[in-house]
Chains A and B, each alone.
Chain A
Amino acid sequence: MFTLDTFQVLLADQGFERPNIDWHAVSPELVLLAGGALVTLVDVIGLEKTRRFIPMLTGLVFLAALIPIVTLFQAGDLPRTMFDSAYIVDGYSLVLKVMFLLAAYVVVLMGADYLVDGDYYDSEFYQLIMASVLGAVVLASSRDFLFIFLSIELVTIPAYMMAAWRKKDLKSNEAGLKYMLMGVFASSILLFGVSWVYGTTGSTNFKEILSLDIINGSPNASGLTYVLGLGTIFVLVGLCFKVSAVPFHTWAPDTYEGAPTPLTAYLAVVSKAAGFVGLIAVVKLFVQLNNGTSNIVQIFMWVIAAITMTVGNLIAMRQQNIVRMLAYSGIAQAGYMLAPFVVVDNLALATSSIVNYLLIYSAMNLGAFTVVIIVARRTGSGDINSYAGLFKYAPGLAVAMTLFLFSLIGLPPTGGFIAKFRIFEVLLWSSPDENTSWMALSLAVLVAVNSVIAAYYYLNVVKQMWFMPALGDDSAIKVPISLKVALILTLGFTLIFGLSNLAPALSEL
């Protein structure tokens, strides 16, 4: 009999010892893994009969994966580390995992009716989304280039397929293909950068890289800086593709428009957040590594943040289609989130403000997409003009959308205000380093100006909903229950984040 034990004995004979695995710490991942297998099995066995239960089952798996996270918090012995600190389960990563799971749950709620209405393959969609979320959940804990690379790929590869899900629609095909080509390109750049870092340090493990004397202050360090610097730039560029920062954003609007809208929401929130989680990890590494790489990160981030928010906003102003508008506005939002990285000498505060922004961004952006799906079910259109008169025939929906848009602008009393407030907070942190102070201050003013530009196009939608007469059918809109739940969840979080200590407190964990 060949059992796991004999397998281990076999490996041990060849000098391999299984690293110690903290099963409790990886249990959220295990639940997802088991859930994925379960969904696949149910689909294979039940076929058509069980098909309509699949979305519910998927949602339940996401919620079930929250349970071990709660128990991990309860156990209170964080952080837990594994694989020579390559995999860390701490408060920070657990908060992100909760965010990924809840966001994915909302996406499932959004998708249920969409997929059935469109007569698309649905159960495979849920299997893929579960795989993708697993990637995001693993990524939150990864502190090793290999882990990071693998989990990012796990997030994006299923998404390539899902983007092309409406397979009879040319736009969806374009979306999938464009996303895949650009995604693969970005991955190879990332990998290329990693290879430079690996070449100079001999390790992919962050802890090990940071412990090397050869880089930190040894006489040879300066020679290595150039090589490491190249690696740094390539790694950052690779990840900037994932968060669709300008000038690596060109795939996003086409992909967002062509993909099924729930998947667009998924890309705009979960996948983008995953990119940021990867960025946070590598930026932390490079900033701690040595002065050279830290400076590169600072200048790189200043430039990218400045052009990302400005270009994103300026192009968003010209959009007629709401999904494309949200795509470009999402690019601009990514610009705001990149800005705190400039404050390299207080990275703890910067990270906390980015996580804070991600939490709030997820709630408000998913909410906006939920309304887009609900309205598109009625009007069959993504035109901003098709929102005309929404307040007259669907006041609740219009108010919800208005709150989401206000939140995206960054107005109190919605979450977006707290999000932007904390970005300003970091940027105005009085750094002892004058250079940092000026870079951060200039970005702060830029964020302020950009917020006004952004308000213009968000208000354009508000204007349509409130000030314009309805164009066609103006009977009340029936909202399916799953979309209603999605709306209540996202709106609830958007408002709670705006009025309470919740998001900042979570981001400090």
Chain B
Amino acid sequence: MTNFLNEWGITAMVFAPLLGVLIMLAIPKTQEQLLKVIALGTTLITGGIGVYLLANFDYNNSADMQFAQSYDWIKVFNAKYSVGFDGISLPLIALTLLVVPLVIIYSWNHIPNPGNPKTFLILILILHTGMLGTFVARDLVLFFVFFEVVLLPMYFMIGVWGGPERQYAAIKFFLYTLFGSALMLVSFLALYWLTGSQTFEIVRLSELVAEKGIPLNTQVLIFAGMFMGFGIKVPIFPFHTWLPDAHTQAPTQGSVILAAVLLKLGTYGFVRIALPILPDAAVEWAPWIGLLAVIGIIYGALGCLAQTDMKRLIAFSSVAHMGYVMLGIATLTDLGINAAIFGMVAHGLITGMLFFIAGSVKERYHTLEIKRLGGLLLQAPRLGWIFGFCTMASLGLPGLAGFWGEFPAILASYQPGGGLSTTLFRVYMLVAALGTVLAAGYLLWLLQRTAFGKVPEEFKDDTHIKNPSLTEWLAWVPLLVLILLLGVFPGLIFDVTEAPVSLISGVWN
């Protein structure tokens, strides 16, 4: 068994959800309870395999790809089924393994309209496979396949179970992402041919690009394709416009997964693929990425201040937060990239949690219009306090997880790597620091308008508005604990990511 899991563990973990899908397909959709049990069981088994792998992971050599497997897949163009993970993927895999079961627990009595839990849960499980696969793929074609597979279930989740504008949001999300990935594919193939050895293995490619001396102009162009693919997914300003629509219209579960994991696929792509393969082009691009990142920080914050819908506000705050992650990456320093990975996990936990709360508020008040809400702390004090806790975490309060994503990223901008202009990045640093002030502004203002104050007339006698239910507690407690835990012990993630990140950033420093 041990040998089996060491060798096949990743494959088993990635495809276990699909096995669950097959079982669920055979069960009639009227057996809702059974379907939920199987879906949850599947994610728990997946998580179990994952935990086994995490336990056997050699943390002293976290820069190595571990549990690696490589088999020929499509021989004609040398695409390989090649999987494995190192310290960069590990936190994100752990995040995915955690969030998906919680989402399914939350779904226990929160299946959005128009019902049909069978299809809904099947889509979540397909998403699960796609997300895990993206984080373990070591071959560009395999990565691309998983990266795209993620798109499909999310499209249906938004389009079928979403809000009133769901059709528009779903297609916008789909077309934006597809456009980016089509150009990204062009870049991958350009690498495949230009490196001359016709391989898609990420590690090989990064060695070959250095050896072959591909002209810088070409590298910059290839980076552009990847920038479109990953940047739209992140999303980087000005490609962010799909995000508020998708988030606002998606059902709670969709928003949570979107915020917690899907956005990270883009930033992960930068760290895993774009930077190591094209380090020279990254230096050329970094000032621009940094610029767009800080524009995103400020623009996202200003956008938040203007929102009248709670969920849309949280969505815009994602634009700002992902801006910090991108700024961290753009500094090309050890600290910055470590911060970026921490930021991804922290944002996943915190914003995921905020979307859960938004979903529960919507369920209780049947509206998310900030103007109509108020007095949450009076009517549902526990829910109100959880909300308060998460807004504090989101604005980057020291001691909570959000802090360790933002602060080191800002710090890293003081002294960027790769010979980047220090002046420029110090300007970015100032702007980004200003962004944290704005973040405190819009989040506290949100909290003040919704949780404080008197209970509005229209909800005065509403008995629906109560503290979290059992499934909500079950789904939320792990996230809340982790937000605190990571805030107090940031080393839990930094220790794992440090070694592999220094391998990447070593080129510039």
- A residues within 8 Å of B by Cβ? 352, 395, 406, 409, 411-413, 417-418, 421-422, 424-425, 427-430, 444-445, 447-449, 451-452, 455-456, 459, 463, 466-467, 500-501, 504-505, 507-508
A412 to B126, CA, bound (A): 13
**A455 CB to nearest B CB, Å:** 5
A352 to B76, CA, bound (A): 10
Q: Is B159 engaged at the interface, CB distance under 8 Å to the other chain?
A: yes
Q: Is B178 engaged at the interface, CB distance under 8 Å to the other chain?
A: yes
**B60 CB to nearest A CB, Å:** 36
Q: Which residues of B contact A448 (CB under 8 A)?
A: 179, 182-183, 185-186
Q: Is B160 engaged at the interface, CB distance under 8 Å to the other chain?
A: yes
In-complex Cβ contact of B189 among A352, A411, A425, A455 (8 A): A425
Known A-B contacts A411-B152, A451-B182, A459-B171; A428 and B190 likewise in contact (beta carbons under 8 Å): yes
How would you classify the secondary structure of chain B's contact residues: helix, strand, loop or mixed?
helix
Q: Which residues of B contact A424 (CB under 8 A)?
A: 185-186, 189
In-complex Cβ contact of B73 among A412, A444, A463, A501 (8 A): A501
In-complex Cβ contact of B186 among A395, A411, A444, A505 (8 A): A444
Q: Closest B residue to A454 by CB, please name it.
A: B178
Known A-B contacts A430-B193, A505-B76; A455 and B185 likewise in contact (beta carbons under 8 Å): no
Tell me whether A504 and B74 are in contact (CB under 8 A).
yes
Q: Is B94 engaged at the interface, CB distance under 8 Å to the other chain?
A: no
Tell me whether B75 and A452 are in contact (CB under 8 A).
no
In-complex Cβ contact of A501 among B74, B148, B149, B151 (8 A): B74
Q: Is B166 engaged at the interface, CB distance under 8 Å to the other chain?
A: yes
Known A-B contacts A406-B152, A413-B149; A463 and B171 likewise in contact (beta carbons under 8 Å): yes
Tell me whether A467 and B159 are in contact (CB under 8 A).
yes
Q: Closest A residue to B228 by CB, please name it.
A: A448
Q: Which residues of B contact A455 (CB under 8 A)?
A: 174-175, 178
**A213 CB to nearest B CB, Å:** 35
Q: Is B156 engaged at the interface, CB distance under 8 Å to the other chain?
A: yes
Q: Is B15 engaged at the interface, CB distance under 8 Å to the other chain?
A: no
Known A-B contacts A425-B77, A455-B174; A463 and B144 likewise in contact (beta carbons under 8 Å): no
Q: Which residues of A contact B186 (CB under 8 A)?
A: 424, 428, 444-445, 448
**B237 CB to nearest A CB, Å:** 20
Q: Closest B residue to A356 by CB, please name it.
A: B76
Q: Indicate with 1 or 0, residue by residue over B139-154, a CB within 8 angstroms of chain A CB atoms.
A: 0010011001101100
A425 to B178, CA, bound (A): 18
Determine which residue in B75, B151, B174 has the highest number of CB atoms from chain A within 10 A of its CB, and name it: B174
Q: Closest A residue to B166 by CB, please name it.
A: A467
Among B28-77, those with CB < 8 Å from A are: 72-77
Q: Closest A residue to B185 by CB, please name it.
A: A424
Tell me whether B193 and A467 are in contact (CB under 8 A).
no
In-complex Cβ contact of A412 among B119, B145, B174, B193 (8 A): B145
A287 to B174, CA, bound (A): 40
Q: Which residues of A contact B76 (CB under 8 A)?
A: 352, 501, 504-505, 507-508
When A and B form their complex, what is the total count of cross-chain residue pairs whose Cβ atoms lie within 8 Å?
A: 91
A412-B144, A448-B186, A466-B159 known; 5 new pairs, CB 8 Å cut-off, are A428-B186, A448-B179, A452-B175, A467-B170, A505-B75
A508 to B76, CA, bound (A): 8
Q: Is B167 engaged at the interface, CB distance under 8 Å to the other chain?
A: yes
Known A-B contacts A425-B192, A430-B194; A459 and B174 likewise in contact (beta carbons under 8 Å): yes
Determine which residue in A418, A445, A452, A508 has the highest number of CB atoms from chain B within 10 A of its CB, and name it: A452
Q: Indicate with 1 or 0, residue by residue over B157-191, a CB within 8 angstroms of chain A CB atoms.
A: 00110000011001100110011001101100110
Q: Which residues of A contact B148 (CB under 8 A)?
A: 411-412, 417
A456 to B176, CA, bound (A): 11
A413 to B79, CA, bound (A): 14
Q: Closest B residue to A467 by CB, please name it.
A: B159
Q: Which residues of A contact B179 (CB under 8 A)?
A: 448-449, 452
A425 to B182, CA, bound (A): 12
**B502 CB to nearest A CB, Å:** 33
**B155 CB to nearest A CB, Å:** 8
Q: Supply 30 A–B pairs (Cβ within 8 Å), ascending by A.
A: A406-B152, A411-B151, A412-B149, A418-B74, A421-B77, A421-B141, A424-B189, A425-B189, A425-B192, A447-B182, A448-B179, A448-B183, A448-B185, A451-B178, A451-B182, A452-B175, A452-B182, A455-B174, A456-B171, A463-B159, A463-B170, A466-B156, A466-B160, A467-B166, A467-B170, A501-B72, A501-B75, A504-B75, A504-B76, A505-B76
A155 to B155, CA, bound (A): 41
A425 to B191, CA, bound (A): 11
In-complex Cβ contact of B167 among A352, A417, A467 (8 A): A467
A429 to B155, CA, bound (A): 33
**B372 CB to nearest A CB, Å:** 28
User: Closest 4 interchain pairs by CB?
Assistant: A504-B76, A448-B182, A412-B145, A428-B189
Q: Which residues of B contact A444 (CB under 8 A)?
A: 186, 189
A85 to B194, CA, bound (A): 37
Q: Which residues of B contact A422 (CB under 8 A)?
A: 77
In-complex Cβ contact of A428 among B145, B149, B193 (8 A): B193
Q: Which residues of B contact A430 (CB under 8 A)?
A: 190, 193-194
A455 to B178, CA, bound (A): 8
Q: Which residues of A contact B155 (CB under 8 A)?
A: 459
Q: Indicate with 1 or 0, residue by residue over B329-373, a CB within 8 angstroms of chain A CB atoms.
A: 000000000000000000000000000000000000000000000
Q: Which residues of B contact A505 (CB under 8 A)?
A: 75-76
Q: Which residues of A contact B192 (CB under 8 A)?
A: 425, 428
**B173 CB to nearest A CB, Å:** 11
Q: Closest A residue to B148 by CB, please name it.
A: A412
Determine which residue in A425, A447, A505, A508 has the highest number of CB atoms from chain B within 10 A of its CB, and name it: A425
Q: Which residues of A contact B75 (CB under 8 A)?
A: 501, 504-505
Determine which residue in A421, A444, A447, A500 has the highest number of CB atoms from chain B within 10 A of its CB, and name it: A421
**A42 CB to nearest B CB, Å:** 42
A180 to B119, CA, bound (A): 47
A328 to B148, CA, bound (A): 25
A18 to B13, CA, bound (A): 66
Q: Which residues of B contact A463 (CB under 8 A)?
A: 159, 167, 170-171
A466 to B183, CA, bound (A): 28
Q: Which residues of A contact B74 (CB under 8 A)?
A: 418, 500-501, 504
A501 to B141, CA, bound (A): 13
